[in-house]
Amino acid sequence: MNFGGQTPTVVVLKEGTDTSQGRGQIISNINACLAIQDTLKPTLGPLGSDILIVDGRGKTTISNDGATILKLLDVVHPAAQILVDISRAQDAEVGDGTTSVTIIAGELLKESKAFIEEGISSHVVAKGYRKAVSLAVERVRELSVKIDKSNSSEEEYRELLERCARTAMSSKLINNNSDFFVKMVVDAVLSLDQDDLNENLIGIKKIAGGGIEESQFINGVAFKKTFSYAGFEQQPKKFTNPKVLCLNVELELKAEKDNAEVRVEKVDDYQAIVDAEWQIILNKLKLIEETGANIVLSKLPIGDLATQYFADRNIFCAGRVASEDMDRVISAVGGSIQSTPTDIKPEHLGTCEYFEEVQIGSERYNIFKGCPEAKTCTLLLRGGAEQVIAEVERSLHDAIMIVKRAVQNNEVVAGGGAVEMEISKYLRDYSKKIAGKEQLIISAFAKALEVIPRQLSENAGFDGTDLLNKLRMAHAKGEQWCGIDFQAETIGDNFEKFIWEPALVKINAFSSATEAAILVLSVDETIKNKESAAPNAGMAPPPGRGRGIPR
């Protein structure tokens, strides 16, 4: 077929599909990531500011936690979404450093932008970054100081964990109350089973009202009073050394219509059915009473008949206990959850030294203390506003995760920008020993790491350029732990000042940030499919509809 010498147009993608590619696309993706970085920069460090976010439903959140901010921001750019993902991954893996990882990733992209504009292939930049991050991680491992638990007393080991928790809290809302919360966080982590350190067994309950320092640490379990029926008021609210029975059994009369259809010929037959139903539940209650339990908890409802039955026999009961609360009760008091009231043996019951139902603020809480199996604890957080309590919870989560990592990986490094400056100096020295483009790229990686001390200084209102020059000079002389000293408004040895962080936080941050930067650089084409129209869009209405014709 002759097209008159012209090449025919081949349509591969659906009409309306948006495609963009090449160097311009890489730079566009970098700019999107830098916009995310600019949002988070002011929140870094002890003197970083908070961000107030209002979502579509009008709910307000005040936070300076990187992962929380990025989760609440409605990020639509696909490349910028990568930074959101690495921040969440850092939060899940380590618990802290979520802002740092995003800022470092953004700075690596910023440094690479000049190379891309000059025509250097993104693969060459990626190769240089991979080399640089492997050297950086290796160097952090060399620098890290191992704290040997076996060679230190219990007080010294606890002090180490408190220092790590204090550093994690330094940039949070609770910084001014850190002495109070540091003890709470370390107690919480040490109360867990030291083999698996499952942080889900640390219950955090938020109770509005009161001051922040009215928060309590319960070495046991506390949960909010569940829904209760009439007769509950007559039950005892305090026990010493009680027997605790945990059930997954519904103790409530069932309406006949829910279960079966019964045909009766005489009134006596109907009465026999009602009596049988009552007898079934009374038999269950009698079996529970015979176990000798003083406290009966169930995941399923405990109805008014059962509540009154237990009240008459001085037994405390609570139905509809949340699954996570029940799991923590079992971890604390011992025993096991029973799915039937028959054949309950003494070993199936748990115990504790003291149980009480108390009023805390406007809520009533059931508290189990002095638990023999205590592999769990509860933090009762107080505060004047819901937003304040929510931010306290996020701050404590970060500190708990840091202490947990310090227990598992007992290698620490100095914070306050000290590690970043030392790695930067090390990579800069290394780059001078090699030739070619890789020298420039590794040097750019070294420069990117300086963003952390520079931003820490600027957020604190210090002269960033002046302090950065002082830090470069100090590290050139071999002062490897020299970082920003916020108290003296200059530089100082942060290891001596006990500004410690687990080495794992830094290793994870450098690795994740570099992976994200390389991923963004490797994308040089974006294809965006046009949204499909509604199935009936553009179709003519059926005859007799919408045309003024009566049906």
Active-site residue among 39, 43, 61, 65? 65
Q: Which residues pair with 317 in a beta bridge?
A: 296
Residues 6+ away with beta carbon under 8 Å from 422? 139, 143, 475, 480, 481
SS3 538: coil
Burial class (CB in 10 A: 0-12, 13-18, 19+), 298: buried
53: closest CA among 384, 387, 399, 456? 387
Q: Are 103 and 37 in contact (CB under 8 A)?
A: yes
SS3 488: coil
Within 13 Å, how many C-alpha atoms sit on residue 453's CB side? 35
Active-site residue among 68, 102, 398, 514? 398
Note the Cα 540 to chain centre separation in Å: 52
Tokens representing 164 are 């790590």
Q: How many other CB atoms are there within 10 angstroms of residue 311's CB atom?
A: 19
Pairing verdict, β 316-318 and 295-298: parallel
Q: Is 65 a catalytic residue?
A: yes
Active-site residue among 39, 43, 61, 98? 98
Burial 365-404 (b: 16+ CB within 10 A, else e): bbbbbbbebbbbbbbbbbbeeebbbbbbebbbbbbbbbbb
Q: Are 101 and 512 in contact (CB under 8 A)?
A: yes
Active-site residue among 39, 61, 99, 514? 99
48: closest CA among 113, 103, 105? 103
Taking the C-alpha atoms of residue 375 and residue 194, their distance in angstroms, rounded to an integer, is 9
Q: Is 398 a catalytic residue?
A: yes
84: closest CA among 13, 128, 49, 32? 32
Q: Is 98 a catalytic residue?
A: yes
One-letter identity of residue 431:
S
Token look-up 């994690």 returns 168
Taking the C-alpha atoms of residue 426 and residue 492, their distance in angstroms, rounded to an integer, is 19
- Catalytic positions, please? 65, 98-99, 398
